């Protein structure tokens, strides 16, 4: 994957089975977001391909749901919890079509599943961090897909919010939903996800989380990152 | 002075009826556009954009005289040149988009002032800048009607795309939305409305008709649709009151409308029950806490 002359991510190949939760790990600039973009089909690949089932990402769009980073959201926007969750139905509506009974049922179901039905009429700033995160998870659910791409879902959550989210994501996996999330915190990755993809502008390791997060792999992924930025000062090479 | 003299008599004049209708029409569409400008933090860009229309309008005047459609296209070309030019500059050089926009618009504005002061006509620079309700002709009114109806119709048809693109452009794109197209369409509509509002409001003040109602509505509403509706209502109300004040007080119509809308903004800033300054002071914090 290239941005102009800069190669952001190369030599990467891995598979994620349906119904598993995978943490995409790596230092800043390792290519976590780039990988998510590739799976979403936003980024033309310089070489290689992404397949979702048998389909190109563009054609698998109804199966994919994307949850943005918390800091990318304008929490002062004049919109209620229900208003955000209803957006999940917009892509499947025609230009002059209004939300139907089936759409409303899906929205109600998503609000219910994430335990935010009582908050439906609230403006989104007047929620706790964990509740705010659940609003966007509910929007993803309302889309009706089965593959969820989350960009740093744990960033900015307090301990309680993190535990809440871990609980939800584990339940989703148990229900057969597929989750792919960019994650910063290795501890969270171990407790919350069954699989991992460790990146350092190329693939370091992929597979069951315990096999991926070995001391040797972590060392390679994170120290190598330092080497790129401060290698000259440190004057040491890594294999 | 009787109620009749105060409210109805002014509109026995043809030019007052035209001015009122033009302001009301553009208030309806501008109130909608303003909401997106405010929520996408494009308020200052809109201001710069409005200034940059001047040379286009001046050149059109020079070449084609008072033809409304020529003025319209002149303004449109100048506005789009500024918008696209600054986007291009920021891509090709290290200059960031805000600086590129700021530099281009001020050069354009200077060019416009220079052109108008040299034009061999009786037109008054002040009318261009601050508006003159006397100048609203039948063709201006038709233009205002068409632009307003087009804007309102597009907002109604593409309401959901506009909401998604304003609230969460990344999600909009992820779900197959044409974000770039919506944004470009929005910029074009803004320029069209600014040009159409030029006669009544003037280039410098036109944005006030869009922005002030929207930012006032922003302080009262917790839903996008109610913000749009309140903004349109305020814009229309402000136009009616403003035109009347301008008649009785002998003020420039643009200034008078902007001042009326400014009063509504001041009231909103102070007294909005949930987001007003007085509430902030009473609670001892500038904003309600996040959690």
Per-residue pLDDT, A157: 86
What CATH fold (topology level) applies to the domain A2-231? Rossmann fold (3.40.50)
ipTM: 0.85
Delimit the domains of chain A by residue range.
2-231
Compute the distance between CA of residue B155 and CA of residue B189 in angstroms, rounded to an integer.
Answer: 10
Determine the Cα–Cα distance for residues B232 and B247; give it in Å rounded to an integer.
Answer: 23
Residue in B157, B168, B290 closest to A68 by CB = B168
Q: Does residue B291 belong to any structural domain of this protein?
A: no
pLDDT mean by block of 10 residues, chain A; 239 residues: 56 78 85 83 74 76 85 92 95 85 93 93 92 93 90 88 90 91 88 88 83 83 55 36
Q: What is the CATH number of the domain that holds B174?
A: 1.10.3470.10
Q: What is the pLDDT of residue A35?
A: 85
Is B170 a member of any domain?
yes
**Cβ neighbourhood burial of B223 (10 Å; 0-12, 13-18, 19+):** middle
Query: CB of B154 within 8 Å of any CB in chain A?
Result: no
Taking only the tens place, the pLDDT of each residue in B203-227 is 888 899 999 999 999 999 999 999 9
Q: Report yes or no on B289 lying in a domain.
A: no
Q: Provide the number of structural domains found in chain B.
A: 1
Q: Residue B156: which domain range?
A: 3-283
Encode B35-51: b = buried (16+ Cβ within 10 Å), e = exposed. bbbbbbebbebbbbbbb
Q: Is residue B290 part of a domain?
A: no
Q: Do B176 and A128 touch (CB under 8 A)?
A: no
pLDDT of B159 strictly over 90: yes
Residue B288 covered by a domain: no
For residue A66, list chain B residues with Cβ-Cβ distance below 8 A. 170-171, 174-175
pLDDT at B123: 66
The burial class, CB within 10 Å (0-12 / 13-18 / 19+), for A116 is buried
Give the tens place of pLDDT for each residue, B15-25: 888 888 998 99
**Highest mean pLDDT (candidates A6-10, A55-59, B8-12, B148-152):** B148-152
Give the whole-angstrom CA distance, residue A39 versus residue A34: 9
Mutate to test the interface with A, among B92, B155, B163, B168 (most CBs of A within 10 A): B168
pLDDT at site B215: 96
Which pLDDT score, from 0 to 100, does residue A236 have? 35
Give the mean pLDDT of chain B.
87
Q: What is the pLDDT of residue B286?
A: 54
- B32 against B206, higher pLDDT: B32
């Amino acid at each position: 994957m290239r941005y102009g002359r800069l190669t952001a991510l190369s030599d990467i190949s891995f598979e994620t089975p349906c119904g598993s939760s995978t943490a995409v790990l790596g230092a800043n600039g390792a290519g976590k977001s780039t990988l998510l973009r590739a799976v979403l089909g936003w980024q033309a690949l310089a070489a290689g391909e992404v397949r979702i089932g048998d389909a190109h990402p563009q054609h698998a769009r109804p199966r994919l749901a994307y949850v943005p980073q918390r800091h990318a959201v304008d929490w002062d926007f004049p919109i209620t919890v229900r208003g955000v969750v209803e957006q999940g139905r917009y892509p499947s509506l025609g230009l002059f079509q209004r939300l139907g009974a089936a759409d409303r049922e899906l929205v109600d179901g998503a609000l219910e599943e994430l335990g935010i039905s009582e908050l439906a009429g609230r403006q989104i700033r007047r929620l706790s961090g964990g509740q705010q995160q659940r609003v966007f998870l509910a929007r993803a659910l309302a889309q009706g897909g089965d593959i969820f791409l989350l960009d740093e879902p744990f960033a900015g959550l307090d301990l309680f919010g993190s535990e809440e989210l871990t609980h939800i994501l584990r339940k989703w996996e148990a229900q057969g939903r597929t989750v792919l999330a960019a994650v910063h915190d290795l501890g969270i990755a171990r407790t919350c996800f069954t699989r991992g993809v460790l990146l350092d502008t190329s693939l370091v390791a992929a597979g069951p989380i315990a096999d991926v997060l070995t001391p040797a792999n972590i060392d390679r992924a994170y120290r190598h990152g330092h080497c790129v930025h401060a290698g000259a000062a440190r004057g040491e090479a890594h294999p | 002075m009787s109620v009749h003299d105060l409210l109805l008599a002014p509109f026995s004049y043809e030019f007052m009826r035209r001015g009122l209708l033009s302001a009301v029409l553009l208030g309806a569409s501008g109130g909608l556009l303003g909401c997106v400008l405010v929520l996408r933090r494009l308020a200052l860009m809109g201001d710069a954009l409005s200034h940059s229309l001047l040379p286009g309008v001046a050149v059109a005047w020079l070449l084609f005289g008072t033809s409304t459609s020529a003025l319209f296209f002149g303004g449109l070309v100048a506005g789009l040149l500024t918008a696209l030019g600054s986007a291009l500059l920021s891509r090709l050089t290290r200059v960031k988009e805000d600086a590129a926009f700021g530099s281009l618009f001020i050069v354009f504005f200077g060019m416009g002032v220079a052109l108008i002061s040299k034009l061999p006509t009786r037109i008054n620079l002040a009318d261009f800048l601050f508006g003159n309700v006397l100048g609203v002709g039948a063709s201006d009114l038709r233009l205002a009607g068409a632009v307003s109806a087009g804007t309102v119709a597009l907002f109604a048809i593409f309401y959901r795309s506009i909401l998604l693109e304003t609230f969460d452009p990344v999600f909009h794109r992820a779900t197959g939305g044409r974000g770039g197209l919506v944004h470009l369409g929005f910029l074009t509509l803004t320029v069209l409305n600014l040009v159409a509002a030029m006669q009544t409001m003037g280039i410098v003040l036109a944005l006030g008709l869009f922005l002030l109602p929207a930012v006032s509505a922003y302080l009262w509403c917790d839903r996008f649709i109610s913000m749009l509706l309140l903004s349109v209502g305020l814009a229309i109300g402000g136009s009616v009151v403003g035109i009347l004040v301008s008649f009785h007080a002998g003020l420039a119509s643009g200034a008078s409308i902007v001042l009326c809308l400014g009063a509504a903004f001041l009231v909103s800033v102070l007294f909005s029950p949930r987001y007003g300054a007085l509430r902030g002071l009473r609670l001892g914090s500038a904003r309600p806490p996040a959690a």
